[in-house]
Chains A and B, each alone.
Chain A
């Protein structure tokens, strides 16, 4: 295949990987701090995509969807944490699995009642609906560049928040030794609510960004959820930088695999995950033991 084609696939892979990072980072944060395996995270992604679809239908452009997904997601996440998840921190992991599985079903049914079961495509916002010429004979969708840009900006903000702020320090401490955070008198409930809100906001934003690229359809969260778990596990549970590199790796392997060796593309990421975990049983950036 041509160099231009390869470059396009490379950019597609990076864009897909960054989108996965938005989902996986929330997943890994929520697991790292609260120890919750949130299967409903894929449904939150779906909610974001449908928000973009509904906003586009109502306003005519997906403009407003992004801030709405970000802020609405944060509010929705706080509500979920306060109303439901808070009561499950001390329960067995498998109870959490059961709870979040029930939530998947309820989200799907709510989607079916409110919007229906049809596939819908979502128009790319008009101002980004053009191609950026890169070299002679090769141009790349401007909207995909926007997605890459927004994801990178959010990733940088997330790193800054975790590594450079007081709240971030508490979150890192809570991920490592939760009982110590309690002992030194920090209100863990506020931390939990914030982490959950941020994770939910990121998942909804990822959905809103993804809607024009992948269109919206029932069960769309499923595939993204399972891939995001692969990302989280490859990177190491609870590690944000692990999620980042894992997401880029999976995004590139999956996209390039589908483009060049479609026969084994479905297999590739699972072989990669098994290989990584057999080599390092706690992931690339996971702590030993």
Chain B
């Protein structure tokens, strides 16, 4: 789960890379990157359940959405609250919901657990979808929480806002990663790992596995709340879509794409998944296929290939298919080709793969 020293270095380099991204990127891409970071937080919080504890939940999006709705519900109509108030409340709401849902659904196992969490997630979805509590099906706009701490307020203009929010999201993602890394190194994390590998053995060793799983479920739900809060802050808008099971399925997909065996896998998966959604646009702008085939005289054929290459679902489907066929351990298992990788570096990597 945890990175090797070399991996930690690569991760730190990645974080620095993300931190300097706004210097080069246009506003549109900074906002897109914030969306990706929020998705990464959601996927990371789900990884505590799926990858670490072996609990595949399909109701995780509900805690995320509930947190976003909490921001909407506590914020007064015409003023914004401090993030120091909204964030704890959103996390508390998500964690409390996870406690109730987890306490009931952890009675079921495996595929049944997945379906019970789906059921509870859908119940929360229908609360927001069918009642007027949060603006019904249309959703509602909200005032963004203010970046004020202990009387000091960070103000920004509309033009600066995407950059500020990007860094707020990045700081939270890094903090969440570090928190989870420490959690997994603790005895608690080791017990979760043991439960994933063999729950009976852990019970025989005297651990009350139900309580450990419930604790993991609540922590995961609360962290999903952090992501949901950031979503509300990013978009200043909530609608039932963010509560529904599609969001949970997307988060699961990101984890699977990124890899179940590592803590940074979900982040890679989320970035890749969000980027994948943009690919048709980029292909459409650059028109590489139309150009290539035009140069060799196959204009008509080139246009047809180009039209196919701009289809979003086709691209997504093929990329996912390629990952599942060629990289069973996800994107996180990608390594430099041998001839680039220094010889001394290959040892720990391979050992780590065998162990996990």
Residues of A within 8 A of B (CB): 31, 37, 91, 93-95, 97-99, 101-106, 108-109, 112-113, 226, 229-230, 233, 237, 263-264, 266-267, 270-271, 273-274, 277-278, 281-283
Contacts and interface: CB of A to CB of B under 8 A. Distances in A.
B317 A271 contact: no
Nearest to B250: A101
Interface of B: 50, 56, 104-105, 107-109, 111-112, 115-116, 118-120, 122-123, 126, 129-130, 245, 249, 252-253, 256-257, 260, 308, 311, 313-314, 316-318, 320-321, 323-324, 328
A31 B115 CA distance: 14
Contacts of A101: 249, 253, 320
A248 to B, nearest CB: 19
A267 B115 contact: no
A267 B120 CA distance: 10
Contacts of A274: 104-105, 116, 119-120, 123
A98 B323 contact: yes
Contacts of B108: 277-278, 281-282
A133 B50 CA distance: 55
A101 B319 CA distance: 12
Nearest to B312: A109
Q: Is the interface of B mostly helix, strand, loop or mixed?
A: helix
Contacts of A273: 115-116, 119
A21 B104 CA distance: 28
A226 B118 CA distance: 10
A239 B118 CA distance: 21
14 contacts: A94-B252, A97-B252, A98-B256, A99-B321, A102-B318, A102-B320, A230-B115, A233-B111, A264-B130, A266-B129, A270-B123, A277-B115, A282-B112, A283-B112
Contact of A98 (B123, B130, B257, B311): B257
B157 to A, nearest CB: 40
A230 B126 CA distance: 16
Nearest to A281: B108
Contact of B112 (A94, A97, A226, A281): A281
Given A102-B321, A271-B119, 20 more contacts: A94-B56, A95-B328, A97-B256, A101-B253, A103-B317, A105-B317, A106-B317, A108-B313, A112-B311, A226-B245, A233-B111, A267-B122, A267-B123, A270-B126, A274-B104, A274-B105, A277-B116, A277-B119, A278-B108, A281-B112
B124 to A, nearest CB: 10
A97 B318 CA distance: 15
Contacts of A99: 321, 324
A94 B57 CA distance: 12
Nearest to A39: B249
A47 to B, nearest CB: 15
A104 B122 CA distance: 21
B106 to A, nearest CB: 10
Contact of B130 (A95, A103, A267): A267
Nearest to B255: A94
Contact of B122 (A103, A109, A270): A270
B313 A106 contact: yes
A97 to B, nearest CB: 7
Nearest to B316: A105
A101 B323 CA distance: 12
B259 to A, nearest CB: 11
B307 to A, nearest CB: 9
A97 B316 CA distance: 15
A263 B130 contact: yes
Contacts of B118: 226, 229, 270
